[in-house]
Structures are given as C-alpha cells and as structure tokens.
Amino acid sequence: ILSLLCWAAGEVAAYPPWDFSWGEPASREARADPSTWSWVGDSQSPGTYRQHPVMVQCQEAQLVVTVHRDLFGTGRLVNAADLTLGPAACKHSSLSRAHNTVTFTAGLHECGSTVQITPDSLIYRTLLNYDPSPASNPVIIRTNPAIIPIECHYPRRENVSSNAIRPTWAPFSSTLSAEEKLVFSLRLMNEDWSAERPFTGFQLGDVLNIQAEVGTESHVPLRLFVDSCVAALSPGADSSPHYTIIDFNGCLVDGRLDDTSSAFITPRPREDMLRFRIDVFRFAGDTRNLIYITCHLKVTPADQTPDPLNKACSFNKARNTWAPVEGTRDICSCCEMGNCGSPALSRSLNPLDRWPGRRFRRHDTKEAEADVVIGPVLLWRDLGAGGRQQEGGQGGVTAVLGVGTVLLCVVAGVGLAAAVLAIGVGRRRCARAQA
C-alpha cells in the first residue's frame, strides 16, 4: 500500500500544477519560449496561426511579415501598436481586424535591417519587436516583451528576379570577376569553426567566434586585416551607446581587460581569412539584450610585411605583452600606447596602389576596404534565480514537489516501521505472559 501511495504521489508531482494542457505537449513546448519563434514560408490559412503566429515572405526587393495578434497562443490579442519591425521600429503597413493579423511590408534595406554576404548567399536579417504598453492600469503589465529574429536568404550566383534575363545583360558573377572587385564578409561560427551558427541563444559567459573573409575571385593573393570593430545596439559604428572591441588598426583591445579572453586565432586558416573570439557581453540597462558588431575590414598584398597600420594583435596575459598573428612583436607596441598612426592617412593610402603594373579607375580606391555589420546577436534574458527557475519550464516546480514527495514517503515509511515494530514487541510480551 505504501509503495502504491508513493508511486501515485510521484505521478501527480510530475505534472506542473498550473498547466492544464497535458494532452498537448507539442503546443506546450511551442509556448515555452515565444521569443525564438520565426518562420519563413508561404501564406497559411487563418486556422494555422497557433502553429505559425509569424509568417514571412521574402520577395524580390522586400519582405512581408504577417503577425497574428494572438502571438502567444493564449487567446489574448496583442496591441498592434506594440509591434514594430527592425531596429528602426517601423510601424505596420496594414491591419486586418477580420483575421486579427498585422502586416509589415518593408524593403530589404529598410527599417535598420542588416545584410551578410557569404560565398553563396545574401542574408538579410531584421527583428520583429513586441514591446507591450501598460494596460488600463499603468502600474501593471500583463505580458513580457519578445524579440523574433527574421531572415531572408537569396542566392548570390543566381538571378533573383522573376523576370526573364535580357540578352544585353552581363552575368553578375562574370562582371565581378572582370572588374576584380572584392567581397568582404563576417560570419558567426560554431565552436569548431566548421559551420555557421544561429545568432540566437547566447548567454553571458559564452564566446562569439567571428570569421572575417574576403572573396578574391580572380585577384592576386591578399592578406585580410580587421582594422576596427565596434559593438552597438543598432548597425553602424557611430551608434550610441557603443563599445570598442578592436581599435588602433588591428589591436584587439577587448582582450586587454582582466575579465576577458578575447583574442585573434593563430595561425590563420588562409591569408584571406582572419578569425577572432570575443566574450559575450550586453549593454547595461538594455532590455532588448542584443548587440550589432560593425567591423572595418581591409586587405594588403599577401607578400607585404605587416606593419603598425596593417596588423592583427592580441594581448597575452601570461606574458603581459601584445603578440601579432604574423610579423614582429614591435608592430604591436603601439597598441599599449593607443596610437598606431592616423586612421585617415591609413585609409587614404590604398595598399593596392603599391602593386606594380596594376591600373585603377578613380572609384577603385574603395575596393581594398569595407565596413561590414554582423548581427543582431540575441542574448537570453537574465531573470535572476527565480526567473531562471520559471524559464526552465515546469522542471523547477516539479523538482520541489518531487523532493517533498520523497520526504513524505520517508516519514510515512519510518512511521509505519515504528508501528510494525511496536506490534511485534506487544505480541512477544503477550506470549511471555501466557507462558
């Protein structure tokens, strides 16, 4: 009987006390973390909004985001004015009260979206923001804010337009090769650098693996450098607030701090690729928990010796000195002084001009460098000890109930054992009396 009671109590404790959707585990998992919802696909019927509250259509020159106002699947409709698109907080373009949907239509480069260039794709990224306004009582808020990342992928080497290609057009890839233009890119990589990883799910204490590349096409060998990197809450190095990660023409100054391990990866995989790691951080007081990283990339001829204006230097805490990825240590000495030459002078002198026998058109001076943005990198919200217990689903509550159940069973077992022992002693006394 005691074993049966303990088993029944354990089964009851395994269910969360406030969740009455035991028969729908899939829907319960979908509601566990609404901030990670994003779907890319065709339009769905209104009856499927519980599985697809956000739908994205990536069109030729714009994206269309359709949001059902029952965003969290609870039956409560969110206010359309609380939904915005991108860091620029663009408002919705239409509202359907019949279907309870909000539609955003924006160009691929509008609303503060960012573009990432990879060898095979153009990736446009933006955010759907939900920032609930106070209810009728301004003292309370009944829902949490949410950030939903949205991406549109376009092939680089194919024709994106649905129109027929005119015979007079020159193929895009052939034009690139003929003009010898350079394509700079930044990628967020996984732990072993074998593939790209999503921009979501980071926590304080994690590490961002960032890979900088330049597509050389038919170019002569090049060496890539990261001249500077700045983190901010929106794209662009001039945003405020901002935090400098790399400065002084290739000094990874974030690694100079005592509580970081940020550094360039040595050796390089290739001359036209450079990798570095930075510790995850967030801006104090920012409720969105996201960062954009803008880096200025540039190239020099691969056979050119690194110098104070073209270098990649990390701070070695064990030796208390700066060390370059390649070149002599003296090129990094200016990192400690914070003065490695005039950036304006460095950018005005195109290092490709030193190549013999190469002719440049007037607009080619910008080919050797570019500003590239990566982000938004989304961090999990730090809700404290109580918040983390709730964020983990019903597991935290179940653990407490499980401990209580075990204690109850132990107490009941001890009491029952005592009763059995007392009965045994009484029987022995009766037997002695009869004897």
Q: State the DSSP code for 28.
A: H
Residues in contact with 76: Cβ distance below 8 Å, sequence separation at least 6, in sequence order: 70, 142, 143
Same domain, 294 and 331: yes
Q: Residue 100: inside a domain, yes or no?
A: yes
Contacts of 370 (CB under 8 A, 6+ apart): 182, 184, 296, 297, 298
Closest CA to 282 of 240, 247, 231: 231
153 shares a domain with 186: no
Instruction: Residue 296: give its domain's CATH number.
Output: 2.60.40.4100
- What is the rounded distance in angstroms from the CA atom of residue 35 to the CA atom of residue 114? 20
Residues of the domain holding 255: 182-340+368-381
**Residues 109 and 201 occupy one common structural domain:** no
Same domain, yes or no, for 102 and 205? no
**4 within some domain:** no
Residues 103 and 146 in one domain: yes
Does 177 reside within a domain?
Answer: no
The domain spanning residue 152 has which CATH number?
A: 2.60.40.3210
Number of compact structural domains in the chain: 2
With a cut of 70, list the residues of the chain below it in pLDDT. 8-51, 135-142, 157-180, 217-219, 342-367, 381-435
User: How far, in Å, CA of 80 to CA of 131, rounded?
Assistant: 10
Whether residue 195 sits in one domain with residue 68: no
3 state SS of 112? coil
Same domain, 328 and 205: yes
Residue 59 within a domain: yes
Q: Give the residue carrying structure tokens 């510790």.
A: 279
Q: Looking at the domain assignment, is residue 350 inside a domain?
A: no
The span from the CA of 6 to the CA of 337, in Å, is 69
Other beta carbons within 10 Å of 397: 18
CA neighbor of 61 nearest in space, from 113, 106, 94, 103? 106
Determine, yes or no, domain membership for 111: yes
User: Do both 96 and 202 map to the same domain?
Assistant: no
Identify whether residues 200 and 330 lie together within a single domain: yes
Which among 245, 365, 230, 370 has a CA at the least distance from the CA of 315? Answer: 245
SS3 130: strand
431 assigned to some structural domain: no
Please tell me whether residues 295 and 241 are part of one structural domain: yes
**97 and 212 housed in the same domain:** no
Burial of 263 (0-12, 13-18, 19+ CB in 10 A): buried
* Cα–Cα dist 331/284, whole Å: 34
Question: CA triplet 189, 206, 370: central angle to 5 degrees?
Answer: 45
The pLDDT score that the predictor gives to residue 249 is: 95
pLDDT in tens, 208-223: 999 999 987 656 789 9
Please tell me the predicted confidence (pLDDT) of residue 238.
Answer: 77
Q: Say yes or no: 147 and 276 in one domain.
A: no
